[in-house]
Amino acid sequence: MGIRLIVEVLASAPEALTHREKLLLVVLAEDANDDTRVTWNSVERPEVLRGAKLSRSQLYAVLKSLAAKGVLAKLAAGQKNGTAKYQIAEFPESQRPEIPDTEPPSQRPRIRDADDAQRPGFPDTDPSAQCQGNADTEPSQCQEIRDVSVPESGTPTPLNPSTTTPLASKRESQQQNRGDGIPESARPLVDGITAAGVYVRWPFKGNGWFPVLAMIAKSGVPAMVDHALKAASRTNVESANYFLKGWSELPPMPAPGTERPPLRAVSGGWRPFQNPENHDVYDEPLI
């Protein structure tokens, strides 16, 4: 990985490069060797295309443009058992190893840290930042400073409430109800059809449930389940969409307080069928 080479490209690449050319050169520098300036892997890798924001056809157009401007050279063509190799040219004002860094590292042993407050032997310059008598105590834990995360009752509010708290339990229950996308009003209809052994897909999403909910309010769940079971007994049904037309033609539920009409009584009352005692009736010809 050429970290130093990336810095060199960003700082010393020719001004004539376009933004697209410079971005691709930075991506190639990340893959190249700092010393040889030669790329290791294929330039067609998804990482290169994504990092340079180029398509495959655009990639080769930008590579050709970089070569024409003299900042990139193709050393070897791609073969069956090897990838193409590209070398990044040296720039006039690059920070190569022989040129010292203009900013000496501040953490070298021979360079004294400019901040004496953190060196051994120096007292803390912020006396109010620590509690008296306990140098490792956070300010919010000092007795004279109340922790704002703890209410007056003295019970801190947990950052991540456990599932035992009422709020977390209610939220978890709501998430479970919404997990399958079935509205609560439609749940009795779905469960009733499924419990009867009719397994169909429910492809409704979002507003697609509105017609179903309207039919439930008009005709009721029992009538819709009964219709679905009858329809499924006649043909193989895979989706609940098949039931929509029949559901829309169901009658509305009776108004509250409507009484069931009386049935007509049969004279003599109902009696179960009995075989005739005279078996000669079986010998009579059919008319």
Contacts 24+ apart (CB under 8 A), 221-227: 221/188, 221/189, 221/192, 222/192, 223/250, 223/251, 223/253, 224/189, 224/250, 225/189, 225/192, 225/193, 225/196
Q: Residue 277: how many CA atoms within 13 Å on its side-chain side? A: 0
CB-CB contact of 238 with 200 (8 Å) = yes
pLDDT at position 173: 47
For each of the chain's 287 residues, which pLDDT tens digit applies? 557 888 888 888 888 899 899 898 899 888 888 888 888 888 888 988 898 889 988 988 999 999 998 888 888 887 777 788 898 888 875 444 444 444 444 444 444 544 554 555 555 554 444 455 544 445 444 455 455 445 555 555 555 544 445 554 455 444 444 567 899 999 999 999 999 999 999 999 888 898 999 999 999 999 999 999 999 999 999 999 999 999 999 999 888 878 777 766 666 666 777 777 776 766 666 55
CB-CB contact of 150 with 156 (8 Å) = yes
SS3 call for 86: strand
Q: Which residues contact 202 (CB under 8 A, 6 or more apart)?
A: 182, 190, 239, 240
Tell me how far apart the alpha carbons of residues 165 and 175 are, in angstroms, rounded to a whole number: 15
Q: Which residues contact 131 (CB under 8 A, 6 or more apart)?
A: 137, 139, 141, 142, 143
CB-CB contact of 88 with 72 (8 Å) = yes
DSSP code at position 66: H
- Whole-model pTM? 0.33
Query: For residue 85, what are the β-bridge partners?
Result: 76
36, 40, 45, 47: CA torsion to nearest 10: -70
Q: Which residues contact 222 (CB under 8 A, 6 or more apart)?
A: 192
72-76 vs 85-88, strand pairing mode: antiparallel
Q: Tokens in use for 256?
A: 């509250």
pLDDT at position 278: 72
Q: Which residue, among 83, 72, 56, 57, has the nearest Cα to 21 in the 3D structure?
A: 72
The one-letter code for the residue type at 90 is E
